[in-house]
A and B are shown apart, each in its own frame.
Chain A
Amino acid sequence: MPTRNTSPVVRPGNPGRAAEGGTKERARHGAARRRGRSERLAPYVLIAPAVLIIVALRLYPLALGVNFSFTGDGDANGTAVGFANYLELLDDPLFQTALANVGLLVLLLPVAVAIPGLLATFIYLKVPGHRFFRSVYFFPAVLSPVIVGAIFNLMLAFDGPLNEFLGAVGLGPVDWLGDPGVAKFAVVGVQIWATFGMALVVFLAGFATLDSSLLDAARVDGASLRQSIWHVIIPSLSQTIQFVFVTTMIGMLTSMFGLLYVMTSGGPEGSTYLPEYYIWIQQGQMNRPALASAASTVLFLIMLVVGLLQISVLRRAGRED
Chain B
Amino acid sequence: MRRLAKWVVAVPMAILALATIYPLVFTANVAMKTRREYVLDRFSLTDTLHWDNIVTAWGSVGMARYFANSLLVVAASVFLLLLLGSMAGFALSRLPFRGSKALFIGCLAALFIPFQVIMVPLSRVMADTGLIDTYPGLILAYVAQFLPFTVFLMTSYYRSVPKEIVDAARIDGNTVYGVYRRIMVPIGRPALLSVGILDALFCWNDVIIALLMMPSADHRTLMVGVTSLRGQYTDNVPTFASGVLIAAVPVLLVYLFLQRQIADGVTAGSTKG
Contacts and interface: CB of A to CB of B under 8 A. Distances in A.
Given A59-B113, A136-B17, A142-B255, 19 more contacts: A42-B175, A47-B87, A47-B92, A53-B143, A54-B144, A54-B147, A56-B125, A65-B121, A122-B13, A139-B255, A146-B226, A146-B247, A147-B226, A155-B26, A201-B266, A202-B266, A258-B205, A275-B116, A280-B119
A60 to B, nearest CB: 7
A298 B148 CA distance: 22
Interface stretch (A12-20, A89-97, A105-113, A176-184): A12-20
Contacts of A257: 116, 207-208
Given A144-B207, A145-B207, A258-B208, A243 B270 contact: yes
B76 to A, nearest CB: 14
28 contacts: A13-B95, A19-B167, A39-B175, A42-B91, A42-B177, A44-B91, A47-B88, A49-B87, A51-B106, A54-B110, A60-B121, A64-B121, A136-B21, A137-B17, A139-B255, A144-B205, A144-B206, A144-B223, A146-B205, A150-B244, A151-B24, A151-B26, A261-B227, A275-B116, A284-B212, A289-B124, A299-B114, A321-B273
A22 B114 CA distance: 47
A210 interface: no
B72 interface: no
Contacts of A321: 273
Interface string B110-143: 1111111111111111000000000000001101
Nearest to B263: A201
A161 B42 contact: yes
Interface of B: 1, 5-7, 9-10, 13-14, 16-17, 20-21, 23-24, 26-27, 30, 42-43, 84-85, 87-88, 90-92, 94-98, 100, 103, 106-125, 140-141, 143-145, 147-148, 151, 163, 167, 170-171, 173, 175-177, 180, 201, 204-208, 211-212, 223, 226-227, 229-230, 237, 240-241, 244, 247-248, 251-252, 254-255, 259, 262-263, 266-267, 270-273
Interface string A1-43: 1111000000111111011001000000000000100110011
Interface residues of A, number: 111
Contact of B201 (A142, A155, A193, A202): A142
